[in-house]
Amino acid sequence: MIKIYHNPRCKKSCAGLAYLQTKTSDFTIVKYMDNGITPDEIREIMIKSSLRPLDLIRTQEELYKKDLKNKNLSDEQWIEILSKNPRLLKRPIVVTDTRAVFAQPVTEIDKIL
């Protein structure tokens, strides 16, 4: 099962979705901005991508720059922050049964299909 964590208001996320659609039609779109993202989903992404929570954070977001930059927090604390503030999550992220990628550039998707 392939999932794409997608924000329809983001050009890069829309580009990732369009690219994935050229490769397969067998996937689920997760609109995490509408439905949220759980700590377990974030952990799954981390395990399958070998990324740490800070690798998944959009550091250009005002919330990060104002309140979180230079904070020395544990991975679990960052996971909770991402779950409560899904806007901070980089996108799109594509997840398969065994792997995950942050799909920028969109051709990163090819690495897991």
CATH no. for residue 17? 3.40.30.10
What is the pLDDT averaged over residues 89-100? 98
Name the band, by pLDDT with cuts 50, 70 and 90, for residue 89: very high
- pTM for this predicted structure: 0.94
What was the pLDDT predicted at 30?
98
- Structural domain range at position 61: 2-111
Helix (H, G, I), strand (E, B) or coil at 39: helix
Chain CA centroid to CA 17, Å = 13
If one counts the domains in the chain, the total is: 1
Name the band, by pLDDT with cuts 50, 70 and 90, for residue 4: very high
What is the pLDDT averaged over residues 22-34? 98
Name 70's Cβ contacts closer than 8 Å, sequence gap at least 6.
none
